[in-house]
Chain A
Amino acid sequence: MSEDDDRSPPLDLRRADIAESSNKTRNCTGVSGSGGSVPGPGPSSMEFQAPYPDQVLENVLENVLQFLSSRRDRNAASLVCRSWWRVEALTRSDLFIGNCYSVSPRRATARFTRVRSVSIKGRPRFADFNLMPPDWGAHFAPWVTAMASAYPWLEKVYLKRMSVTYDDLALLAESFPSFKELVLVCCDGFGTSGLAVIASKCRQLKVLDLIESEVTDDEVDWIAFFPESGATCLESLIFDCVECPINFDALERLVARSPSLKKLRLNRFVSIGQLYLLMVRSPQLTHLGTGSFSATEGMAQGEQEPELFTAFAACRSLVCLSGFREILPDYLPDISPVCANLTSLNFSYAHINADQLKLVIFQCHKLQIFWVLDSICDEGLQAVASTCKDLRELRVFPFDAREDNEGPVSDLGLQAISEGCRKLQSILYFCQHMTNAAVIAMSRNCPDLEVFRLCIMGRHRPDRVTNEPMDEGFGAIVMNCKKLTRLAVSGLLTDRAFSYIGKYGKLVRTLSVAFAGDSDMGLKYVLEGCPRLQKLEIRDSPFGDAALRSGLHHYYNMRFLWMSSCRLFPQGCQEIARALPRLVVEVIRDDAIEHTDETVDILYMYRSLEGPRDDAPGFVTIMQ
């Protein structure tokens, strides 16, 4: 449940050019250093060549650099000199692509030849909220095709917001005999048939995690495709987002022969009775997603209730609990045996009230991560604040995500949390009403805050008490929270709020803005003031071409800029494209938006080594 964490330093595009040209002239007679833990196709020549001095250095370097794990460190090391660049490339086993269009599969696989694990991110985040027309891109296909030949030893694939097809999964399953981990977050384009092919062909599969992905029901019994006999290597099986019924018998047998299984997250088609049967088979679980946590419809009155309490008591290693998709609150107390050990609890699909929450939360002293629905109200948050002194991450989601409804949580809840949970590092809070005072209080009480995302659902809503803009609250956050790297703002905000962000938000990497600001100055403050800014997403704010120009010095340092329904015109976007040739400037037409003038619907721009992509759909214009 952790946020993506990008620590890559600014990409020096000119150096990358140099590095690339040196690649072409590279001499390939080097003998691989001994003791390297990266087996792979090595030279078959048995000729002994007296090692030249550089060669010795390279061997040593290889042995040293293989221990570097942080990609920031690796990027830095690769810029030292040609030799270091070469060796770093040989020893990099984890490849992270923050934007699938920033580099081509060909280029990436040519530079890094011994990769075991690949992470690729595709669509921009605002696409999750239907702001991007469908079929925009981010296809896994060209990547899996390139990797099928380049990385025969590939073990792990992590994809976020990518479009993955059945064919992609089939190719993956076929091409990598050592394949161990597949993690798909917010992906789409595939169905249960794709899962089946993974299950049946990836014999070394340890991890199959589907997180918030859209999986179509191809009416394939994918669970039954895991090899029927013998123990599996499965350590993690997460499928709570799969919206189709599951063959429970096959699942039960699978769990029974998966002795290494530590993480199991069931979908809502698993009833509480079935959950019990699974738990009994796997008391070694550390992470459990409980499925529906509700009785099946057919359960008659007086039918034996599952001894859930006992099952939970047997799970001594359980630290992370989620699920509760259709919770029957009567069963909630059954989780009590594990509460004292829980470090992570996800109630964000459980429609429970404060009293029901209190039944369990008062025992959760070790809780560090807590996701919940606003149905627990301010009162529930107060209970959390009084008990969970170790809380690091809190997310409060709205049950009824509409603008004009009653707000069960408010500034009162936020205030309580700030006073009780002093170690808070990350918060996402949806509410209807907020005050500057509560936000200021949090800025003072929680100095460790790194992520502050406040969503006041009513657009342009001022301070509930003073009726003033929310400028001072967010200003206090950037001023007092010295470790802040991610910020999302909302409510009535003037340019002043942005001046605060530009002045104090020196570490901010990700900024989300919606329905805020008065003029170009707002955006200018941010672009001129925040040197670490990498991801900027803005919607429905009055920022125009002049503001866009003010970021020219910085755009190469960013992963992307998204601006939708702002005051941008095609000419302004084109200016940027012409000034910065290594930037891909996409102007995306969204037919759902009514056109009253020539302003651009969506601007999405990102640095890239490849120039305009060749898979852009008709509604995308790449400015040049």
Chain B
Amino acid sequence: MEGCMAFDKELNLEATELRLGLPGIKESEKQPSSTIKSNKRAFPNMDEKSCGSKDSSKASHAQKCNQEIASPSKAQVVGWPPVRSYRKNCFQAKTMEAEAAGVYLKVSMDGAPYLRKIDLKIYKGYPELLKALEDMFKFSMGEYSESEGYNNGSEFVPTYEDKDGDWMLVGDVPWDMFISSCKRLRIMKGSEARGLGCAV
């Protein structure tokens, strides 16, 4: 029994748990799901939820709705703005295509039994990506410096395989170049990574 528990801990199931959500977001941070009305009509916008418009027809509805507008979750109101479904559908496809065309990559970490997949497109730069990786795999990698790579005695180091099949240190090339050339990520044990920072 005890052996199992220890094994579970080591597996760190929570870290490798499959969830729908951005990597790094903990359970407690999740937005409370807004009430989804049972819509019998087929709406083109899959995010469409009814704003509590019935409740809002009270004296303070202006206030309430302003709050709703300010809230980060984009609750869509039925039939608002008044654009015909045909027109909405035409562009829905385009915006969704643009949003869906992510850059999905496998991320592995030495010692971890499961791979993860991330969409590089959602990150705007290295700091975000690295933070996400740290959160996802529950480790820290230390500061990056051009000359020394990831130092300060960090146990793990983020590396990636580029188009040519070479393993590079994450952070060496400009972000845009990185996005287009990175084929997969590997969080390597620091000891193995030595020498990578000097490559090129």
Using CB atoms and an 8 Å cutoff, list the residues of chain A in contact with chain B. Answer: 126, 128-131, 133-134, 186, 212, 214, 241, 325, 348-349, 351, 397-404, 430, 455, 457-461, 492, 512, 514-515, 518, 539-542, 565-567, 591-597, 599
Question: Chain B residues near A457 (CB, 8 Å)?
Answer: 80-81
Which of B35, B57, B76, B90 lies at the interface centre, i.e. has the most chain A CB atoms within 10 A of its CB?
B57
Question: Is B121's CB within 8 Å of the partner chain A?
Answer: no
Is the CB–CB distance between A129 and B83 below 8 Å?
yes
Question: Chain A residues near B86 (CB, 8 Å)?
Answer: 212, 214, 241
Is the CB–CB distance between A133 and B53 below 8 Å?
no
10 further contact pairs, Cβ within 8 A, besides A126-B82, A128-B84, A514-B82: A133-B40, A401-B83, A403-B77, A455-B82, A460-B69, A515-B80, A540-B57, A565-B53, A566-B57, A596-B55
Question: Chain B residues near A596 (CB, 8 Å)?
Answer: 54-55
Question: Chain B residues near A514 (CB, 8 Å)?
Answer: 80, 82
Is the CB–CB distance between A594 and B50 below 8 Å?
yes
Is the CB–CB distance between A460 and B54 below 8 Å?
no
Question: Which residue in chain A gives the minimum CB-CB distance to B61?
Answer: A542
Which of A349, A351, A399, A401 lies at the interface centre, i.e. has the most chain B CB atoms within 10 A of its CB?
A401
The 9 closest A-B pairs by CB, nearest first: A129-B79, A401-B83, A457-B81, A131-B79, A592-B39, A460-B62, A542-B57, A129-B82, A540-B53
Question: Which residue in chain B gives the minimum CB-CB distance to A401?
Answer: B83
- Determine chain B's interface SS by DSSP, over half rule: loop
Question: Chain A residues near B52 (CB, 8 Å)?
Answer: 594
Question: Chain A residues near B85 (CB, 8 Å)?
Answer: 128-130
Question: Chain B residues near A126 (CB, 8 Å)?
Answer: 79, 82
Given A133-B41, A459-B65, the answer on whether A593 and B54 have CB atoms closer than 8 Å is: yes
Question: Chain A residues near B84 (CB, 8 Å)?
Answer: 128-129, 186, 212
- Complex CA–CA separation, A540 to B51 (angstroms): 11
Is the CB–CB distance between A130 and B50 below 8 Å?
no
Is the CB–CB distance between B78 and A349 below 8 Å?
no
Question: Is B147's CB within 8 Å of the partner chain A?
Answer: no
Question: Chain B residues near A565 (CB, 8 Å)?
Answer: 53-54, 57
Question: Chain A residues near B66 (CB, 8 Å)?
Answer: 460
Shortest B129–chain A CB gap in Å is 25
Question: Quick one: which of A397, A404, A567 contacts B87, CB cutoff 8 A?
Answer: A397
Question: Chain A residues near B74 (CB, 8 Å)?
Answer: 402-404
- Complex CA–CA separation, A404 to B76 (angstroms): 10
Shortest A487–chain B CB gap in Å is 14
Is the CB–CB distance between A404 and B69 below 8 Å?
yes
- Complex CA–CA separation, A133 to B83 (angstroms): 17
A/B interface sample: 18 pairs, CB < 8 A: A128-B82, A130-B43, A131-B79, A212-B86, A351-B91, A400-B91, A400-B95, A401-B87, A402-B81, A403-B77, A430-B83, A460-B66, A461-B69, A540-B56, A540-B57, A542-B59, A593-B50, A593-B53
Question: Which residue in chain A gives the minimum CB-CB distance to B68?
Answer: A459
- Complex CA–CA separation, A325 to B91 (angstroms): 10
Is the CB–CB distance between A592 and B35 below 8 Å?
no
Is the CB–CB distance between A402 and B76 below 8 Å?
yes
Shortest A161–chain B CB gap in Å is 11
Using CB atoms and an 8 Å cutoff, list the residues of chain B in contact with chain A. Answer: 35, 37-41, 43, 50-59, 61-62, 65-66, 69, 74, 76-88, 90-91, 94-95
Is the CB–CB distance between A592 and B41 below 8 Å?
yes
Is the CB–CB distance between B81 and A455 below 8 Å?
yes
Shortest A440–chain B CB gap in Å is 22
Question: Which residue in chain A gives the minimum CB-CB distance to B75?
Answer: A403
Which of A402, A404, A459 lies at the interface centre, i.e. has the most chain B CB atoms within 10 A of its CB?
A459
Given A134-B41, A592-B38, the answer on whether A541 and B79 have CB atoms closer than 8 Å is: no
Shortest B41–chain A CB gap in Å is 5
Question: Quick one: which of A399, A403, A597 contacts B69, CB cutoff 8 A?
Answer: A403
Question: Chain B residues near A518 (CB, 8 Å)?
Answer: 59
Question: Chain A residues near B43 (CB, 8 Å)?
Answer: 130
Question: Chain A residues near B95 (CB, 8 Å)?
Answer: 399-400
Question: Chain A residues near B62 (CB, 8 Å)?
Answer: 460, 492
Is the CB–CB distance between A541 and B90 below 8 Å?
no
Which of B51, B58, B88, B91 lies at the interface centre, i.e. has the most chain A CB atoms within 10 A of its CB?
B91
Question: Chain A residues near B69 (CB, 8 Å)?
Answer: 403-404, 458-461
Given A459-B77, A460-B65, A542-B58, the answer on whether A591 and B82 have CB atoms closer than 8 Å is: no
- Complex CA–CA separation, A460 to B77 (angstroms): 13
- Complex CA–CA separation, A351 to B85 (angstroms): 17
Is the CB–CB distance between A567 and B41 below 8 Å?
no
Question: Chain A residues near B40 (CB, 8 Å)?
Answer: 133-134, 591-592
Shortest B86–chain A CB gap in Å is 6
Shortest B109–chain A CB gap in Å is 37
Question: Chain B residues near A399 (CB, 8 Å)?
Answer: 91, 95
Question: Which residue in chain B gives the minimum CB-CB distance to A599?
Answer: B54
Question: Chain A residues near B77 (CB, 8 Å)?
Answer: 403, 459
Given A126-B79, A401-B88, A492-B62, the answer on whether A351 and B94 have CB atoms closer than 8 Å is: yes
Given A402-B76, A592-B37, the answer on whether A430 and B57 have CB atoms closer than 8 Å is: no
- Complex CA–CA separation, A458 to B81 (angstroms): 8
Question: Chain A residues near B91 (CB, 8 Å)?
Answer: 351, 399-401
Question: Which residue in chain B gives the minimum CB-CB distance to A567?
Answer: B57
Shortest A536–chain B CB gap in Å is 15
- Complex CA–CA separation, A428 to B158 (angstroms): 53
Shortest B96–chain A CB gap in Å is 11
- Complex CA–CA separation, A518 to B60 (angstroms): 9
Question: Chain A residues near B51 (CB, 8 Å)?
Answer: 459
- Complex CA–CA separation, A325 to B52 (angstroms): 35
Question: Which residue in chain B gives the minimum CB-CB distance to A457?
Answer: B81
Question: Which residue in chain A gives the minimum CB-CB distance to B51?
Answer: A459
Shortest A555–chain B CB gap in Å is 22
Question: Chain A residues near B59 (CB, 8 Å)?
Answer: 518, 542
Is the CB–CB distance between B54 and A591 below 8 Å?
no
- Complex CA–CA separation, A269 to B58 (angstroms): 48
Given A455-B81, A540-B53, A542-B61, the answer on whether A591 and B88 have CB atoms closer than 8 Å is: no
Question: Chain A residues near B90 (CB, 8 Å)?
Answer: 325, 349
- Complex CA–CA separation, A603 to B116 (angstroms): 53
Question: Chain B residues near A567 (CB, 8 Å)?
Answer: 57
Question: Chain B residues near A595 (CB, 8 Å)?
Answer: 54
Which of A130, A241, A400, A461 lies at the interface centre, i.e. has the most chain B CB atoms within 10 A of its CB?
A130
- Complex CA–CA separation, A514 to B53 (angstroms): 11
Question: Chain B residues near A351 (CB, 8 Å)?
Answer: 91, 94
- Complex CA–CA separation, A540 to B62 (angstroms): 11
Is the CB–CB distance between B57 and A459 below 8 Å?
no
Is the CB–CB distance between A459 and B80 below 8 Å?
yes
- Complex CA–CA separation, A56 to B57 (angstroms): 63
Question: Quick one: which of B50, B57, B58 contacts A592, CB cutoff 8 A?
Answer: B50
Is the CB–CB distance between A130 and B81 below 8 Å?
no
- Complex CA–CA separation, A347 to B6 (angstroms): 65
Is the CB–CB distance between B65 and A592 below 8 Å?
no
